[in-house]
Amino acid sequence: MNELLKNPIFATHAVIAAGSATLATAISYPLDSLKVLVQVGSGSSKQLTGADVLNRVRTLSGSSDGREDKYVYVSEALLAGIASGAVESLVSSPFELIKIRAQVTSASRIPSSTPAVEKAVVSPLIAKLLPGYSRDIGALNNTVGLLTTLPTKHPNLVTALKDYPWMMTGSGRPPSVFDVKRPLDIISLEGWGAFWRGMRSGLARDCVFGGIFFSTWQFLHQAMVEWKAVGMNPPARSDEDVGPLSPLAVSLAAGFSGSLAAAASHGFDTAKSRSQCIVLPKYVSMERRFLKWQVPGKRFERWTGIHPADRNILFRGLGLRMARSGIASFVVVGGYLFAIDKLLSE
């Protein structure tokens, strides 16, 4: 059985079969609903037909989720926000990595270009991993000086050290962020997986943000609808009878929801941003896999991608992110409502 599960052909067929079954279920679900209602609604005295059930469903529940109006529960908004946040995290992670490294580069002190003589000593392996990179010769000489006390029979220790990828900077550390900010350099040195680095903290951040944002916004929206419905004569039977809300009030509610969601998810955002600013070459990742390197931290930190060294700085920049998310949510919703109003008025 284990050999069968490890077979790639079997796994491929299993995935395709599961997807096909899911698609078939989604397409045929309305017919299945009619079938069940015919089965449970028929009796010895009256036999229901498919047309009878269809007319009753359309009259009482409509063709959607069985509700008389378009009301959405707060719990449903929470689940929808979590799901949409997970999808957003997967799609936006590569673009976010490039953005963050460009932002860090703008505030970093980039060393002046080295002479052509120093550039010529870069080994072919390093030039392949990071084209155009120049090693810090001063750091390399300092490292070699620390090794001069060791007994060695190598004819040229300096040249030998230059051929190792972990001596790219001359100090045994990976290159800085401003040296690995272009997409081609990231792929060459760190691999394609670098675009999704910090995925655990990113998923936690976007799921928490999306869930709290949409559930809070739905709660505030329903509260405003009920407040507007107070004193109506006759009383409103559904939310649609209350009428549209003020665009400004809806936009303010969205801005407040965005700020609250940003505050709740800010710790994960800090962990995500800091992990994307770490240059992790492919050979280091390979060594970690060979050595079965364990992620440090407590269980919750490992699950959410928070490094234990960042525990005391997780809420740095909280006010800036709350302001940014609040303003962005207000502008998105307000701009959308304004554009819709202008388009419909024409």
Tens digit of each residue's pLDDT (9 = 90 or more) over 25-41? 778 877 777 777 777 76
Residues 231 and 321 in one domain: yes
Are residues 234 and 259 located together in one domain of the fold? Answer: yes
Together in a domain, 125 and 34: no
The count of domains in the chain is 3
Mean pLDDT (whole number) for 139-168? 58
Q: Indicate whether 202 and 260 sit together in one domain.
A: yes
Residue 336 lies in a domain: yes
Q: So what's the pLDDT on residue 136?
A: 60
What percentage of the chain reaches a pLDDT higher than 70? Answer: 69
Query: 294 and 199, same structural domain?
Result: yes
Domain membership flag for residue 68:
no
Residue 180 placed within a domain:
no
- Sign, Cα dihedral of 20, 23, 25, 30: negative
Q: What pLDDT is attached to residue 245?
A: 83
Both 246 and 169 in a single domain?
no
Q: Which of 7-16, 178-187, 291-300, 334-343 has the lowest mean pLDDT?
A: 7-16
pLDDT value at residue 346? 63
The residue ranking higher by pLDDT, 22 or 197, is 197
DSSP readout, 198-240? THHHHHHHHHHHHHHHHHHHHHHHHHHHHHHHTT-SSPPSSHH
Q: Which residue intervals of 61-136 are DSSP H helices?
A: 74-106, 116-119, 124-129
Banded model confidence at residue 147, pLDDT cuts 50, 70, 90: low
Per-residue pLDDT for 132 more than 70? no
Neighbours of 200 (CB within 10 A): 20
Residue 111: per-residue pLDDT:
58
- Interhelix angle 247-276/74-106, rounded to 10 degrees, is 50
Contacts of the segment 239-245: beta carbons below 8 A, 24+ positions apart: 239/69, 239/70, 239/71, 240/69, 240/70, 245/221
Together in a domain, 159 and 248: no
Q: Which of 4-8, 134-138, 203-207 has the lowest mean pLDDT?
A: 4-8
Most confident segment among 17-21, 92-96, 129-133:
92-96
Query: Token match 């006390």: residue?
Result: 149
As a whole number, mean pLDDT of residues 274-302 equals 82
Same domain, 263 and 291: yes
pLDDT surpassing 90 at residue 106 = no
Q: Is 263 helix (H, G, I), strand (E, B) or coil?
A: helix
Q: Categorise residue 172: left if φ over 0, alpha if ψ from -120 to 50, beta otherwise.
A: left
Domain boundary at 148, 175, 202, which? 175
Mean pLDDT computed over 270-281: 87
Q: Is the pLDDT of residue 116 over 50?
A: no
Query: In this structure, is residue 299 part of a structural domain?
Result: yes
**Residue 119 above 60 pLDDT?**
no
Segment 83-110 shows an average pLDDT of: 86
Residues 155-184 have pLDDT tens digits of 665 566 555 555 555 555 667 777 788 888
| 88 and 121 housed in the same domain | no
Q: What is the pLDDT of residue 325?
A: 93
The segment with the largest mean pLDDT, out of 66-80, 84-98, 275-289, is 84-98
Q: Average pLDDT for residues 326-331, to the nearest whole number? A: 94
Domain of residue 163: give its range.
Answer: 116-175
Give the mean model confidence (pLDDT) for residues 204-228: 91
pLDDT reading at 208 higher than 90:
yes
Q: What's the whole-number mean pLDDT along residues 118-133?
A: 57
Who has greater pLDDT, 124 or 97?
97
Q: Does the residue 243 lie in any domain?
A: yes
Verify that 47 and 146 share a domain, yes or no: no
Give CA separation, 172 vs 93, 129, 160, 322, 330, in Å. 28, 15, 14, 39, 47
Residues 121 and 101 in one domain: no
Residue 183 lies in a domain: no
Under the banding of pLDDT at 50, 70 and 90, the label for residue 257 is very high
Mean per-residue pLDDT, 148-161: 57
Find out whether 279 and 180 touch, Cβ atoms under 8 Å: yes
Q: Does any domain span residue 66? A: no
CA–CA dist 102, 111 (Å, integer): 16
pLDDT of residue 114: 47
Q: Report pLDDT for 148.
A: 55
The answer to whether residue 271 sits within a structural domain is: yes
The mean pLDDT of 55-69, rounded to a whole number, is 64
How far is the C-alpha of 242 from the C-alpha of 249, rounded, in Å? 15
Residues 102 and 250 in one domain: yes
